[in-house]
């Protein structure tokens, strides 16, 4: 009877060991599988070093994002509560020191100003902080008169790098 139990126990141990092998082979990551493809370990190590350098470089790239929704709403509210355009421009300049903007946000800010010259000055202040500069053509809609549009065109041409 003891022999039968020990045989069953041995068979279960063998089955368990086989299952562990299968699980370990499934748990192996892609890196392990890639390493097995390379006969030359030095080539594999070089590839891993390149991946590491790429990850480090990507980590050091600054990520730029526009001003948050809540902060932007606070900025717009502040502009709406300020009666004089001169004071509004100070608020815009201050917000531009630490924030980036989308073109739609710049248009909304510019719409809080009455005159085309003031709108142009605000756009010029924020232009270098615009993330989606490829949509800068939408900024022309801020102006009522063609004189403001022409001045904006000259400004954009002088501040856009040539390819």
pLDDT in tens, 28-44: 555 555 555 555 555 65
Over the stretch 78-98, which tens digit does the pLDDT of each residue have? 999 999 999 999 999 999 999
Please tell me the distance from the alpha carbon of residue 149 to that of residue 76, in angstroms, as a whole number: 23
Please tell me the distance from the alpha carbon of residue 142 to that of residue 124, in angstroms, as a whole number: 13
Q: How far apart are the first and last CA of the chain?
A: 87
Q: What is the mean pLDDT of residues 39-60?
A: 63
The kind and range of the H/E element at 37 are helix 30-37
Q: Is residue 55 packed enough to be buried (19+ CB in 10 Å), middle (13-18) or exposed (0-12)?
A: exposed
Please tell me the distance from the alpha carbon of residue 40 to that of residue 73, in angstroms, as a whole number: 58
What residues contact residue 102 under an 8 Å CB cut-off, 6+ apart? 66, 130, 131, 132
Q: Which tokens hold the place of 104?
A: 């739609």
pLDDT value at residue 92: 96
pLDDT value at residue 129: 94
Average pLDDT, the chain: 82
pLDDT value at residue 52: 67
Write down the domain spans for the chain: 2-60, 69-159
Q: How many CA atoms lie within 13 A of 99 on its CB side?
A: 20
């Amino acid at each position: 009877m003891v022999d039968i139990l020990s045989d069953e126990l041995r068979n279960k141990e063998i089955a368990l060991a086989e299952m562990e092998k299968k699980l370990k082979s499934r748990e192996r990551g892609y890196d392990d599988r890639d390493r097995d493809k390379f006969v030359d370990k030095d080539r594999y190590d070089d590839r891993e070093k390149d991946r590491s350098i790429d990850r480090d470089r990507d980590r050091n790239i600054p990520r730029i994002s526009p001003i948050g929704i809540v902060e932007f709403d606070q900025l717009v509210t502040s502009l709406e509560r300020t009666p004089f355009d001169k004071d509004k421009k100070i608020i815009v300049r201050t917000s531009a020191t630490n924030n980036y903007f989308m073109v739609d946000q710049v248009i909304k800010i510019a719409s809080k100003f009455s005159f085309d010259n003031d709108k142009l000055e605000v756009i010029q202040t924020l232009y270098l902080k615009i993330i989606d500069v490829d949509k800068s053509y939408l900024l022309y809609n801020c102006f009522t008169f063609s004189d403001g549009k022409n001045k904006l065109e000259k400004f954009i041409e002088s501040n856009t790098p040539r390819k």
